[in-house]
Amino acid sequence: MTIYIGTGGTPTSAKDRSTLSGLKRIHELRLNAMEVEFVYGVRMSTEMAEDVGKLAKKLKISLSIHAPYYINLTSTEKKKIEASKKRIIKSCERGHVMGAKIVVFHPAYYGKLTAEVTYERVKKECEEIVDRLKEKGIDDVIIGLETTGKKSQFGNIDECVRIAKEVKGCGVCVDWAHVYARNGGDIDYNEVIDKVLSLKNKHIHSHFSGIKFSDKGERSHLTISSGQPEYEGLVKEIKKRKLDITLISESPNLETDALKLKEMLNK
């Protein structure tokens, strides 16, 4: 059983907002994972990515990346689809240099398309992204489709797992709060874990937080003290199954909730 717990981005208590300061603070807090946030654009140089990777290796911190938010692989405009793919590829290039294991992204919106047509289009674009990465000699970074929280977004757990099974080089990032919100305030941890473990990669990469939602799904993130969802059930499953898992806090209180979940797991 290997458990990595950390934050989505630099902890708020770090010396400054830099990724290097974030890694040092993660180490001070005795956490062991950090997701580098490229959510507003890939602005990190290759040289800085190398420095980040060296420090993370030295401090024994597991790295992942969150690709930019501005991604829609089913846009009605081909230029936007191409720009989306380039953002994912650029994120993977930095991930390859720094030693990140997975690049997480929100895949698409249904728009006026049926769920199946949306699926086929997302699958096609994911295949092309993987092919382009191979051409660049990058085969050590998984592109991870994140389970999405809004019902208008492509990316329920079944869709993400299905693509990961059919496209080599794709994986899944389980956002537990998103699954909960999308299901109207319900989550069966046992069922979700079974679906993810049906993949060849037995390590589960995931995000956690509390969440505010409506009948349309996710509205905003909350702290885990909200009880939406409760994480005792997840902790029990992790211990019972002796899971290999990464747990990235996306709570408004990043490191506070990461430490809370770590404490729950250590009890």
- Residue pLDDT, tens place only, 36-78: 999 899 999 999 999 999 999 999 999 999 999 999 999 999 9
Task: Using CA atoms of 107, 110, 114, 118 in order, give the dihedral in degrees to the nearest 10.
Answer: -20
Q: pLDDT-based confidence at 197, cuts 50/70/90?
A: very high
- The CATH number for 3-266, chosen from 3.90.550.10, 3.40.462.10, 3.80.10.10, 3.20.20.150, is 3.20.20.150
Q: What pLDDT does 233 receive?
A: 97
Q: What pLDDT does 201 receive?
A: 82
199 has pLDDT over 90: yes
Q: pLDDT-based confidence at 160, cuts 50/70/90?
A: very high
Interacting residues of 47 by C-beta distance below 8 A, sequence separation 6+: none
User: pTM above 0.75?
Assistant: yes
Each residue's pLDDT tens digit, 120-129 = 999 999 999 9
163 has pLDDT over 90: yes
What span, in angstroms and rounded, lies between the C-alpha atoms of 31 and 54? 17
Q: What pLDDT does 200 receive?
A: 83
Each residue's pLDDT tens digit, 138-149 = 999 999 999 999
Task: Tell me the average pLDDT across 198-222.
Answer: 94
Task: Using CA atoms of 203, 4, 65, 166 in order, give the dihedral in degrees to the nearest 10.
Answer: 10
For 19, 123, 141, 163, 177, the CA distances from 170, given in Å and listed in that order, are 26, 10, 9, 7, 21
What does the DSSP assignment read for 184-240?
TS---HHHHHHHHHTSS--PEEEEE-EEEEETTEEEEEE-GGG-SS-SHHHHHHHHH
Where do the domains of the chain lie? Answer: 3-266
